[in-house]
Structure 1
Amino acid sequence: MFEASTNGSGCIHIAASCTHKVYEIRFWEECSHSARGNLVSSPLGNRHGQLSVSAIVMPSQDSSPPRRLFLQMSGAPGAGKSTTANLLAQPLDAVILDLDVIKSSLLDNGVLFEQAAKLAYSTLWALAGSMLIQGRNLIVDCTCNYEEVITSGRALAEKVDFEYWYIECRPQVDIDVLDERLQKRVAMRRRDEQEALFRRWIENPYRPDGNVVVVDTSKHPDECQEQVLEAMEKSWP
């Protein structure tokens, strides 16, 4: 079944769990644009206090529709993707889909490790499609260590006419510092897989063309939030 939970900032996290079987979920080929509801504006509330949600999500012309946003977080494990996503969710009125939460739920319900990653991505894209069809702004939190992950996200956004943004979290810290962060986490991958994943992402990151924000997540989280929101605000004509 699908489970939703909220954190202290009011962000919504959606995860999938299976008790007996894993069912294939297919993305709807047809979507109704009329099903997209209006977004609700709320104050930004960061320490700089300069940006308003209406300036980012809502256009300056009253007759224009609100911006429909699909953000794809990218970065090595431990790079600060989830922290940054949580700070962006409220001002953008967005739902967060976390790949690691989905994968953990599958493993907890008896899915073999070798199968969990593929099923987690299938579930992620199914949930993402459902959220976009409902008109919800969306933040997808995953590593994006493969080109097809990014192209799949962008294609999904384009299919439902959402504005795609790629947010790359790249902290300016030593590799050993991130490795220490990984060791403190609940292991969902083998350690050698984690290290290979991190080094591959650092040495050869894949980035799409346009709407890319590279964030130094070794800075204060509020600064990271403001950098992304300012970039999105400036891009609006």
Structure 2
Amino acid sequence: MLIVFSGLPGTGKTTIASALAREIGAVYLRIDSIEQAIRDAQVLMQDVGTSGYKVANALALSNLGLGHRVVVDCVNPVIESRNGWSEVAKRAGVSLVNIEVVCSDLQEHQRRVETRKGDIPGLVPPSWQSVMSHEYEPWLDTPFIIDTAQVSAPEAVAMITQECLAHAPQSTLPIALNNAGSRP
């Protein structure tokens, strides 16, 4: 199963995605970490562009091929990146669950962005202005939406776990998400 978290910075994606990955024993891929590692390698003449997503697509496909569940933490702002995840799931023959994390309380969202401490060395967290001007295209197919102004991270993990169970093939339901330590 491929579970892709999408949404603007500061909505709570990383908190929820990393907690879910721990809960279900999934491989966790964070685009911010991948992109910063590419920057740190100093091999590009320009910014990372789509390279972080391309690397994450390849890592996800490889891990799905090994039978692991994969949780991806990314902004996923455009149709091209969303289509990339769909293609990975299709090639791996697994279910794709798209989760969009939003924070409907703009004051709370702004507070989170402005008080956020960076946890990736070298990566400067975005400003509120950059978050508000970030390109983010509407979804063609509505994802499963989590509003972190309405639910806590543990509640969100429980809701997403139920959503994933609904998308799990019948043959994997007994082991899919109920036994976090086991692999499908």
CA displacement, residues 132-180 of structure 1 (integer Å, 9 cap, x when unaligned): 1111110111101011111110111011210110011012221533542
Structure 2 residue matching 1:215: 3-state secondary structure: strand
Instruction: Please point out which of 88, 92, 117 is paired with 1:160.
Output: 92
Indicate conservation of the 8 Å contact 2:8/2:75, yes or no.
Answer: yes
Asked which structure has the greater CA Rg, the reply is: 1
For residues 193-208 of structure 1, the aligned pairs below 5 Å read: 193-197=130-134, 200-201=135-136, 204-208=137-141
- Identity in percent: 23
Q: Which has the higher contact order (CA 8 A, sep 6+)?
A: 2
C-alpha distance 156-221 of structure 1, shift in aligned 2 (>3 A): same
Indicate conservation of the 8 Å contact 1:73/1:168, yes or no.
Answer: yes
Indicate conservation of the 8 Å contact 1:107/1:113, yes or no.
Answer: no
Residue ranges of structure 2 left out of the alignment (5+ in a row): 171-184
Q: How many residues align?
A: 162
Structure 2 residue matching 1:116: 3-state secondary structure: coil
When the two structures are superposed, what TM-score results if normalisation uses the length of structure 1? 0.60
d(CA) in 1 for partners of 2:162, 2:127 = 38
When the two structures are superposed, what TM-score results if normalisation uses the length of structure 2? 0.76
Alignment root-mean-square deviation, CA = 2.5
What is aligned with 1:215?
146
Structure 1 residue matching 2:53: 3-state secondary structure: helix
Indicate yes or no: 2:41 matched with 1:104: no
Indicate conservation of the 8 Å contact 2:113/2:127, yes or no.
Answer: no
Residue ranges of structure 1 left out of the alignment (5+ in a row): 1-68
d(CA) in 2 for partners of 1:115, 1:91 = 34
Indicate conservation of the 8 Å contact 2:95/2:167, yes or no.
Answer: no
Structure 2 residue matching 1:208: 3-state secondary structure: coil
d(CA) in 1 for partners of 2:6, 2:96 = 13
Indicate conservation of the 8 Å contact 1:78/1:181, yes or no.
Answer: no
d(CA) in 2 for partners of 1:126, 1:221 = 28
Indicate yes or no: 2:114 matched with 1:180: yes
Indicate conservation of the 8 Å contact 2:5/2:72, yes or no.
Answer: yes
d(CA) in 1 for partners of 2:157, 2:2 = 16
